[in-house]
Amino acid sequence: MKYSILFFLVSYMGLSGWAQADTSFNIWMWTTGKHYLHDGQTLKNYGFTLGIGTPTIPGPVLRVKQGQKVQLDVRNQSQGAPHTIHLHGLDADQNNDGVPLTSWDIKHKETKAYEFVAEHPGTYLYHCHVASVIHVQLGMYGSIIVEPTANEAAPGYFYGRDFNLLISEADKSWFDNKPIHSTGDSVHALFSIPAYEPDYFFVNGQGQQQIDSLIMRPDENVFLRLSNVGYFENLVKFPSSLSVRLISSDGRPLPNKTIIDSLYIGAGERYGVMLSPIGKSTGSIEIQYLHMFTGNRVQSEFVPYGWDESLGIETTSIYDGFQVYPNPVIDKVHISYKTDGPYQVNIIDLAGKILNSDFSIEKNEIIMDLSSHKPGVYSLQIMQNDKVVYTNSIIKM
């Protein structure tokens, strides 16, 4: 009797997720997808949706915040095949890693929970790990983004907004003649794997004229997340009009953040690059798809980019009721607060000299003009009754 209660508790804890998750997603898994291609054809794909729906490629982007306890409640609504979710690059424990041989799978009409702590900000992947060569190719993949608490791609590298480009390919013959799957067993499934000769090349599941443009403010840094979940290697070529700095790889900052003009991305790899303000330039980023045996370029897709001055400012630092935006700043920085003032606000250079100072009486926002200061790092200091109550770094561009 003791043992059966213990067993029940262990399996209950393993499969039910966090007692109190900070964020959760209700994911459904299907084999009845319909994905529209740029030439009007469709793929009958496998895939993921949030709640009931018809999956397209890729699955939904799952965005969480650094430090959050995350729970994925996953239901298998597909006919027959079991599925799992492998958390590619995340520090999930073995029980939550979605490898059927070493943990568990989700059978038809079952719902189970995965849980992990989003410890390191970065770009990650999730995909099914049952007969993964087949299920991933058929569309069971997506991006997990762990956002940093401030918009800081690596210490000192602030950005205004980020874009996620998930690169993959599709061989339509695999979708039209799906390999037969033995239904009950996620570990031992026999397939003959067809030759892989993809004929569709995706950026976020889109090809050619479907591909979304990257629209940014002329004056902001932009963090570009690049991942490859296809089987071909990619060569990304940036035009000379863009200044591109390689910041992070596989969810960790790189020690040297070098300026690059191109980037190879192997299967399963993720990189983060910073685009410095583009000003009023337009162009496109070329993504080459390299054949897995010959290394030759099979196809190029192009991601257009451009600017729009009317876009909102995304970067906001919030701390203890204070809001500081934008940061980095071109000219004017806004400091607003909900808590009771009045406050003394100072902008101080590295030598300790006060460059701007203002005192608020019965207002909840102070605007400081930094347009005459040199580019660099300044210190924001907020004081009340001669005591410092808040400090932050301000990046002047």
Residue 83 sits in the site that holds Cu ion (CB under 5 A): yes
Closest distance between Cu ion and the C-beta of residue 224, in Å? 29
Closest distance between Cu ion and the C-beta of residue 32, in Å? 13
Q: Which is nearer to Cu ion, 141 or 322 (CB)?
A: 141
**Interacting stretch for Cu ion, rule CB under 5 A, among 65-73, 79-87, 99-107, 288-296?**
79-87
Q: Which is nearer to Cu ion, 84 or 344 (CB)?
A: 84
Q: Which is nearer to Cu ion, 64 or 140 (CB)?
A: 140
Residue 112 sits in the site that holds Cu ion (CB under 5 A): no
Distance CA 77, CA 26 (A): 12
Length of the chain: 397
Closest distance between Cu ion and the C-beta of residue 89, in Å? 19
Segment 139 to 198, residues that bind Cu ion, using CB under 5 A? 140
**Interacting stretch for Cu ion, rule CB under 5 A, among 95-103, 131-139, 158-166, 197-205?**
131-139
Among 37, 57, 70, 130, binds Cu ion (CB under 5 A): 130
Closest distance between Cu ion and the C-beta of residue 229, in Å? 14
x-or-dash string of contact with Cu ion, 38-77, rule CB under 5 A: ----------------------------------------
Closest distance between Cu ion and the C-beta of residue 31, in Å? 8
Place of tokens 């190029």: 300
Q: Which is nearer to Cu ion, 43 or 128 (CB)?
A: 128
Q: Which is nearer to Cu ion, 88 or 135 (CB)?
A: 135
**Interacting stretch for Cu ion, rule CB under 5 A, among 78-86, 185-193, 255-263, 360-368?**
78-86
Closest distance between Cu ion and the C-beta of residue 135, in Å? 3
Q: Which is nearer to Cu ion, 33 or 121 (CB)?
A: 33
Q: Which residue is nearest to Cu ion (CB)?
A: 128
**Interacting stretch for Cu ion, rule CB under 5 A, among 81-89, 116-124, 282-290, 316-324?**
81-89
**What are the CA-CA distances from residue 249 to residues 29, 107, 183, 252, 320 (Å)?**
29, 34, 37, 5, 32
At 185, give phi and psi (nearest 5°).
-125, 120
Distance CA 142, CA 191 (A): 24
The sheet with strand 62-65 has its strands ordered as 62-65, 141-147, 122-127, 86-88
Contact call for residues 205 and 247 (beta carbons, < 8 A): no
Closest distance between Cu ion and the C-beta of residue 82, in Å? 7
Residue 86 sits in the site that holds Cu ion (CB under 5 A): no
Contact call for residues 269 and 230 (beta carbons, < 8 A): no
Closest distance between Cu ion and the C-beta of residue 58, in Å? 14
Q: How many residues bind Cu ion (CB under 5 A)?
A: 5
Among 128, 138, 165, 345, binds Cu ion (CB under 5 A): 128
Instruction: Say how many CA atoms lie within 13 Å of 79 toward its Cβ.
Output: 3
Instruction: Say how many CA atoms lie within 13 Å of 329 toward its Cβ.
Output: 28
Among 112, 120, 127, 135, binds Cu ion (CB under 5 A): 135
Closest distance between Cu ion and the C-beta of residue 109, in Å? 15
**Interacting stretch for Cu ion, rule CB under 5 A, among 59-67, 122-130, 192-200, 317-325?**
122-130
Binding site for Cu ion (CB under 5 A): 83, 128, 130, 135, 140
